[in-house]
Amino acid sequence: MSKRIFVLMSALVVAVAAGQTSKSAAVPKTPWGDPDLQGPWTSDDTWGVPFERPANFGTRAFLTEDELKAREKQVEASKQRIEHPSDDQHSPAKRQLDALNSGTPAPEPAPGGRGGGRGASVDAAPVPGQFGEYARRASKQTSQVVDPPNGRIPELTAEGKERQAAMRGRGRGGGSPDSWEQWSIYDRCITRGVAGSIIPVIYGNGLEIVQAPGYVAIRYEMVHDTRIIPLDGRAHLSKDVHTYMGDPVGHFEGNTLVVETTNLNDKMGVGANGGGLPYSEDTILTERFTRMPGNVINYELTVNDPKTYTAPWKVAFPITQEPGYKVFEYACHEGNMSLRNALLANRAEKEKAAEAAGK
């Protein structure tokens, strides 16, 4: 063995050892040696952070000290509204309760807050107070989209633009829909998709990670999807299979779980509750879950869909473990009275109109 190779290998040994100790010491490990990502997590802390960056921030990814103080105040106010709704004359919950008691119609909720239906804006909405989720600490991020550097979704391809134009005017919008098919996949309790299951919304931002040797499983509370992520290096499913949640395969890089999802169908978008412009069947979603010291996972989602977007783009935010936070059964479809009532209301309106027309 030549001296040169020995030196080279020694350097490598040092690099490997240093890499492993500096990264591994601070984060928990499973008994079989994988980084331990287990437990209930929530993306609540990013609730209220705009999805795309408002133009005035330019390429500035983080708030200034003053801006952060302002957001801290908002976060505290949300918390107060939710924890003590009856104390706050201005909370939506209080207004709705008052409206019910007085028999006057309740005020309209903020637009875009719920549903994230097809074509709905993916910008964050003001927090209605009645659902009980809020950021526990103020995020410094100016947007959830972190790449490209302006925090905006890249320009659409020609095909993407066509699809977006075709989508406009569909969806719930105004009026009452004639059929369930005009409602979003989320409203129908089918799924929120890979991105929509973790992007924070007004409630139900919980997920739970359970690991076994060779596997990581993620179950999301709202609409109860579970993703089983094999770590054995297997190939993806064939092109004959396209599904809402796609086919995930994963591996660990240091303290980071990397998940690549393909075989997606073309019905979901990367936005709140799976809204936004649906991506194509060729999409590759790459997620990185990096276990940090303390109760934080840094989450990143890279969207690679050359059919829809002129460049890949990335969403990133932390998810956290909070005391007492648990994931519950969310029997969405089983209890979907909202869709049933809307369809019945639509029928009643139409019947009334037909009666008035003397038919």
Binding site for other proteins (CB under 8 A): 1, 6, 9-10, 12-13, 15-16, 30-32, 38, 178-180, 188-191, 208, 210-215, 217, 219, 223-226, 228, 230-235, 241, 243-245, 247, 251-253, 327-329, 331, 333-334, 339-340, 343-344, 346-347, 350-351, 354, 359
Is the CB of 74 or the CB of 176 nearer to other proteins?
Answer: 176
Question: Residue 251 Cβ, how far from other proteins at the closest point, in Å?
Answer: 6
- To the nearest whole angstrom, how small is the minimum distance from the Cβ of residue 204 to other proteins? 15
Q: How far apart are CA 136 and CA 134, in angstroms?
A: 6
Residue closer to other proteins by CB (options 68, 217) is: 217
**Of residues 13 and 100, the one with the C-beta less far from other proteins:** 13
Tokens 């939710």, residue located: 82
Distance, CA of 15 to chain centre: 36
Q: Which is nearer to other proteins, 165 or 331 (CB)?
A: 331
Partnered with residue 262 across adjacent β-strands are 247
Nearest approach in angstroms of CB 348 to other proteins is: 8
Residue 240 corresponds to which amino acid? Answer: D
**In terms of CB distance, is 239 or 340 closer to other proteins?**
340
Q: How far is the CB of 23 from other proteins (least distance, A)?
A: 13
Residue 259, classed as helix, strand or coil, is strand
* DSSP state letters, 185-242: TTTTTS--HHHHTTS--SS--EEEEEEETTEEEEEESTT--EEEEE-S-PPPPPTT--
Q: Which is nearer to other proteins, 244 or 289 (CB)?
A: 244
- For residue 124, give the 3-state DSSP assignment: coil
Q: How many CA within 13 A on the CB side of residue 278?
A: 23
In the complex, minimum distance from the CB of residue 129 to other proteins, in angstroms, rounded to a whole number: 22
Comparison of 62 and 328: residue with beta carbon closer to other proteins: 328
State how beta strands 256-262 and 247-253 pair. Answer: antiparallel
For 252: left if phi > 0, alpha if psi spans -120 to 50, otherwise beta; the answer is beta
Task: Quote the CA–CA distance of 197 and 184 in Å, as a whole number.
Answer: 14
Nearest CB to other proteins, comparing residues 135 and 327 = 327
Residues 6+ apart with CB under 8 A from 35: 24, 27, 28, 29, 252, 254, 255, 256, 257, 291
Cβ at position 351, least distance to other proteins in Å: 6
CB of 2 to other proteins, least distance (A): 10
CB of 184 to other proteins, least distance (A): 13
Rounded distance between C-alpha atoms, residue 47 and residue 26, angstroms: 28
**8 Å CB contact between 211 and 217:** yes
**Torsion region of 41: left, alpha or beta (phi above 0 gives left; psi -120 to 50 gives alpha):** beta
Output the smallest distance, CB 14 to other proteins, in A.
Answer: 10
Residue nearer to other proteins on the CB measure, 249 or 301 = 249
